[in-house]
Amino acid sequence: MSVAIVDYGSGNLHSAAKAFERAARESGHDQPIVVTSDPGQVARADRVVLPGVGAFADCRRGLDDIPGMIEALEQTVRQRGRPFFGICVGMQLMADVGREHGVTPGLGWIPGEVDRIAPSDPNLKIPHMGWNTLNMLKPHPLLTDIPLGPDGLHAYFVHSYELKAAQRSDLVAQANYGGPLTAIVGRDNMVGTQFHPEKSQKLGLKLIANFLKWAP
């Protein structure tokens, strides 16, 4: 059993790795957490985590720059059906296309586009930066035992773009910021969060622990 956190030059993998290690240890689902840029290791992993910080186009370029990485992801996640967790831009990359710094193709795993957020209240600042509650649209194993809704736990967001899913059935949870924002998407063995679970204290560690025992 191993969890591969894909390292493609998109910063801050240290905190992600530490959060996964801690969640693994504390939840009793201890398994090796490997930060790797080796497509072979990704192809052999039992679970795959795709983090991502920065702009969509840069992140896509980072993935493309590692020979064989896109193929390894396709193989492990799409063909072998291993549980996949995209974080922030790693989640946005699941879409068909991103519109940050030009038009860039995504992985095409979740139909939809990544576009700039546009809160209805002009006084709301962009980026959407800080803590927000989550509204569940459909139950998901990753949300087990996590209090949600207006009185629930909070998740930490930092983003100016969101994944606008074409199919409502792919939306697991939203946050409200001058209108609904995509917070979690999920389809089959794939899940993605716009917020940073590795920075979301209790909610984040619980979500990661749920991912580590998820058997889709």
Residue 61 sits in the site that holds another protein (CB under 8 A): no
Residue 193 sits in the site that holds another protein (CB under 8 A): no
Among 50, 146, 153, 171, binds another protein (CB under 8 A): 153
Least Å from the CB of residue 81 to another protein = 29
User: Is the CB of 159 or the CB of 187 nearer to another protein?
Assistant: 159
CA distances from 210 to 18, 69, 94 (A): 16, 26, 20
196 part of the active site: yes
> Is the separation of the CB atoms in 166 and 112 below 8 Å?
yes
154 part of the active site: no
Catalytic residue among 100, 113, 162, 198: 198
Q: 72 Cβ partners below 8 Å, 6+ apart?
A: 39, 40, 42, 43
Q: List, in sequence order, every residue forming a beta bridge with 114; answer none if it has no partner.
A: 98, 163
Catalytic residue among 88, 128, 140, 159: 88
Q: 31 Cβ partners below 8 Å, 6+ apart?
A: 1, 2, 3, 24, 46, 47, 212
Residue 199 sits in the site that holds another protein (CB under 8 A): yes
Q: Are strands 190-193 and 33-36 parallel, antiparallel or unpaired?
A: unpaired
Among 44, 46, 54, 75, binds another protein (CB under 8 A): 54
Residue 34 sits in the site that holds another protein (CB under 8 A): no
CA distances from 109 to 23, 36, 86, 96, 204 (A): 27, 22, 11, 7, 23
71 part of the active site: no
Determine the interface stretch with another protein among 32-40, 41-49, 108-116, 124-132 (rule: CB under 8 A): 124-132
CA angle 15, 21, 26 (to 5 degrees): 125
Residue 14 sits in the site that holds another protein (CB under 8 A): yes
Residues contributing to the site for another protein (CB under 8 A): 11-12, 14-15, 18-19, 22, 53-55, 58, 124-133, 150, 153-154, 156, 158-160, 175-177, 196, 198-205
